[in-house]
Structure 1
Amino acid sequence: MTTGLIGAVNNQEVREMGTTNAAAPKYKGKRNRLDRPELLAPAGNLEKLKFAVHYGADAVYIGGQKYGLRSNADNFSFEEMKEGVEFASRYGAKVFVATNIYAHNEDIEGLESYLRSLEEAGIAAIIAADPVIIETAQRVAPKLEVHLSTQQSTMNWQAVKFWKDEGLPRVVLARETSFKEIAEIKSHVDIEIEAFIHGAMCSSYSGRCVLSNHFTDRDSNRGGCCQSCRWKYDLFVDDEPVYEEGQEQFTMGSKDLCMIEYLPELIEVGVDSFKIEGRMKSIHYVATVVNVYRQAINAYFEDPENFRVKQEWIDEMNKAANRPLNTGFFLDTPGAEDHIYGPEEKAAPYDFAAIVLDYDDRTGFATLQQRNHFKPGLEVEFVGPGGTFFRQTITELTDVDGQPLDAARHPMQHVRVRTLKPVKPMDMMRKKIRK
């Protein structure tokens, strides 16, 4: 059994369960256009896009100023989209845009112009749920691929075939789809399948929620979700409170998804695109999660027969975990143990501290951009793409002019730190939180 926040049983134990949907049936068909699964990462802003791609994403999905379900993310202007596409193309990566709202009448005005602008910006695909957005994109922006959003709650092969017949090359399955169901879909329909393999799980059916509408007048299906399932509630039985004063209150939040231990099953069942949730998450989260899955995917294809999940990957994942982790609906239907009802198990205590901007190999000093307070004497970790990792104590800290500092306490401050090993631009430095 795995320790830490990831509590899933290992692959062998799953194969020995003998239940109808525990083990992942293998898909023997053609993998469409992709010779290996695409690693698809979230990007809430341009900086996150660059880190996701730099740390190994094959594609990123972003939101524009309209028609997306993350109105609280920074989101992208058309100029930022163009810059993101240009950066991604240097790595051979693509950029997708979420246009996945369910549109009301007043949302339709300007849709054609918006979609044409996405096409002109070099966006490779949109992720859409509303048929009018899908049809309009196919008509006015034919260079844009249209991927069916998970908001459509697609879970069976006949529905997938319907969307293929409508001209869509890819379907993002509902989060509630199991391994067994994916195998059946792939055996009936020759289409790209995208599935969420990491990140937050919605307590409602594939995001179809109206709690936010009722509680705050913010429409979840038009980008305004207030995450009311994560709020804390009092519970009453016959008008008597269940919790005493001071006790942890009830939430409806589910644990987060993590499928790193089932990477071979995901590949063998025929998932074409591994999607990571988290456009609202930090740079540290996005880069860390992408980095781990990139290493794991590469390791699998280098030697599939001898592939093993490394403990260091799980340790890394736990350092970026926001909540306890589980395997969602892939193996079975989640139960009470897969939700956060009482005091929440805290994620690994690490904070993102700085980004490496430059490194001077003559002096051994790295120039950093501060993202969180740190000072001499603090033990930190440096992390980079492909498994770059080392731990050290900060011994020397100066400003950019070489003057000693007792702490890096100002956000975005540029400082210099002597490192034990060479580092590269866009490597990250993190620190352990003191309890």
Structure 2
Amino acid sequence: MQINNFSYKKPELIAPAGDLEKLRTVIEYGADAVYVGGEGFNLRMGAPGLTLPEITEATTWLHGQRKKIYIALNIFARNYHVSGIRPYLKKLAEIPVDAVIVSDPGIFLLVREIAPHIPIHLSTQANTTNLKSVEFWHQQGVKRVILARELTLGEIKEITGNSCTETEVFVHGAMCMSYSGRCLLSSFMANRHANLGDCSHSCRWQYVLKEEKRPNETYPIVEDESGTFILSSKDLCMIQHIPELVHAGVAAWKIEGRMKSQYYVAAVTRVYREALDRYFADPHGYVYDPKWLSELEKVSHREYGTGFFFGNQGYKSQTTHPGNSYIKEYDYLGMINNVLSDDVAEVLVKNRILGNTSIEVMGRRLSEDFTQVLLDIKNEYHESIETAHVGQKVLIKMSRPVHKYFMLRKCG
């Protein structure tokens, strides 16, 4: 596509997948590629990643869908990681994954040594903030650089337009109060190492100011009735700035959230998919749809902001909500596991479902959404029930046609 004599390629939309179920779901909801954690060597210890057999299964399935898979090996390694990752890389080298994501130069060298045929993407954790750094990594053989989240759109465009290396940026999800996530709060306060994937999110805790000679007196810094949370960053949300992102020229847009729910990754992915497709279908006639932000507000999130894309926002980049709580107005009730007839679907229950309740059905596209009242819920024995519990598979009469992977939600 060419706009104002500058050619723009449609960016790849990359979604997180903490397990195989989420992986298949985000593809159904419009992702072009997924990124998953490699066991023990990624920055999400709470989501340990896919096993090697699971990566093999996922890669085969994704390639059959003409989609891609990227494996995150982006820890800052200690010596014991280096010895442990060698046999892992030898086995990973046998799987035709599309790239590995690394941040540590040592891990980078091991990938080049053991699996030189696997493309390497440089993690945002490497905090690449200038063109010369991108040139350096290009000379080392890096195919794509995931730029630091501290960059502005202008800086991103300058880097991308003057480099032959692909660039990628995060467009949605949690932000870190520390430079490119290099935080020591968790290590000091909870003995959990953020750069080894075990962050305790100490920045989301509530803090007060104390004076050395008055240990029993505390002073709030910025406060409401819930306390103070000066270190807690707003979540990134760029849905209102699709044209600006396109004009930056990056090869790929990434959604954060390997530890988020299946509902979260599906709901966010489909919104960016629709916005991106609409822009490239008619860039000159493109109009932002307020419904997109409304949909993104239906997932659990902190206050939204634009990160550093439009410059340092200072205190405006920090949330005014309690550090450990999210804005959560909707409950994810379940996912359609099978369609048995035109009006009966089998639902895998994720949260308690009550009969005679008004719910929303979320389709793979926003145009497929509808609202209905649950008048007829049956268990696996086709017996009518009033309440469905987590883990159950129940039969629900639907008021409109549905498909597998559609989801049920309810305003809390």
TM-score, normalised to structure 1, is: 0.88
Q: Which residue of 2 aligns with 1:115?
A: 89
1:17-416 matches, cutoff 5 A? 35-236=9-210, 239=214, 240-243=217-220, 247-251=225-229, 252-341=231-320, 343=322, 347-362=327-342, 364-387=343-366, 388-409=368-389, 411-416=390-395
Out of 328-337 and 228-237, give the one that drifted further. 228-237
Aligned-partner SS, 1:212: helix
Contact 2:353/2:388 (<8 A) preserved? yes
Q: How far is 1:180 from its partner? A: 0.8
- The CA deviation string for residues 199-223 of structure 1, in whole angstroms up to 9 with x for no partner, is 0001100010111111122211111
Contact 2:12/2:33 (<8 A) preserved? yes
Q: How far is 1:143 from its partner? A: 2.3
Taking the aligned partners of 1:27 and 1:85, their CA distance within structure 2 comes to: 39
Aligned-partner SS, 1:385: coil
Contact 2:303/2:321 (<8 A) preserved? no
Residue identity opposite 2:121 in structure 1: H
Contact 1:198/1:275 (<8 A) preserved? yes
Contact 2:186/2:202 (<8 A) preserved? yes
Taking the aligned partners of 2:94 and 2:326, their CA distance within structure 1 comes to: 44
Q: How far is 1:250 from its partner? A: 2.1
Contact 2:93/2:114 (<8 A) preserved? no
Q: How far is 1:378 from its partner? A: 1.1
Taking the aligned partners of 1:207 and 1:99, their CA distance within structure 2 comes to: 16
Contact 1:55/1:287 (<8 A) preserved? yes
Residue identity opposite 2:303 in structure 1: P
Residues 224, 282 of structure 1: CA spacing in aligned structure 2 closer, same or farther, 3 A cutoff? Answer: same
Residues 272, 69 of structure 1: CA spacing in aligned structure 2 closer, same or farther, 3 A cutoff? Answer: same
- The CA deviation string for residues 255-295 of structure 1, in whole angstroms up to 9 with x for no partner, is 00000111111111101110111111000100000011111
Taking the aligned partners of 2:108 and 2:4, their CA distance within structure 1 comes to: 29
Q: Which residue of 2 aligns with 1:16?
A: none
Q: How far is 1:119 from its partner? A: 2.5
Aligned-partner SS, 1:263: helix
Taking the aligned partners of 2:58 and 2:363, their CA distance within structure 1 comes to: 21
Contact 1:27/1:270 (<8 A) preserved? no
Q: How far is 1:335 from its partner? A: 1.6
Q: Which has the higher contact order (CA 8 A, sep 6+)?
A: 1
Residues 341, 316 of structure 1: CA spacing in aligned structure 2 closer, same or farther, 3 A cutoff? Answer: closer
Contact 1:61/1:97 (<8 A) preserved? yes
Residue identity opposite 1:266 in structure 2: L
Aligned-partner SS, 2:405: coil
Residue identity opposite 1:406 in structure 2: E
Aligned-partner SS, 2:267: helix
Contact 2:352/2:387 (<8 A) preserved? yes
Aligned-residue identity in percent:
37
- The CA deviation string for residues 58-114 of structure 1, in whole angstroms up to 9 with x for no partner, is 111111212211111141110111121122223211111111111112211032321
Out of 343-352 and 194-203, give the one that drifted further. 343-352
Residue identity opposite 2:24 in structure 1: K
Taking the aligned partners of 2:39 and 2:10, their CA distance within structure 1 comes to: 32
User: What is the count of residue pairs matched by the alignment?
Assistant: 403
Residues 146, 383 of structure 1: CA spacing in aligned structure 2 closer, same or farther, 3 A cutoff? Answer: same
- In the alignment, structure 1 segments of 5+ residues that lack a partner are 1-25
Aligned-partner SS, 1:319: coil
Taking the aligned partners of 1:27 and 1:130, their CA distance within structure 2 comes to: 39
Contact 1:62/1:97 (<8 A) preserved? yes
Residues 156, 211 of structure 1: CA spacing in aligned structure 2 closer, same or farther, 3 A cutoff? Answer: same
Taking the aligned partners of 1:272 and 1:321, their CA distance within structure 2 comes to: 28
Taking the aligned partners of 1:181 and 1:61, their CA distance within structure 2 comes to: 25
- In the alignment, structure 2 segments of 5+ residues that lack a partner are none
Q: How far is 1:29 from its partner? A: 6.3
Residue identity opposite 1:115 in structure 2: L
Contact 1:39/1:274 (<8 A) preserved? yes
Q: How far is 1:230 from its partner? A: 0.9
TM-score, normalised to structure 2, is: 0.93
- The CA deviation string for residues 353-373 of structure 1, in whole angstroms up to 9 with x for no partner, is 0110122335x1111010001
Q: Which residue of 1 aligns with 2:397?
A: 418
Give 4+ residue runs of structure 1 displaced > 4 Å after superposition. Answer: 26-31, 243-247, 341-346
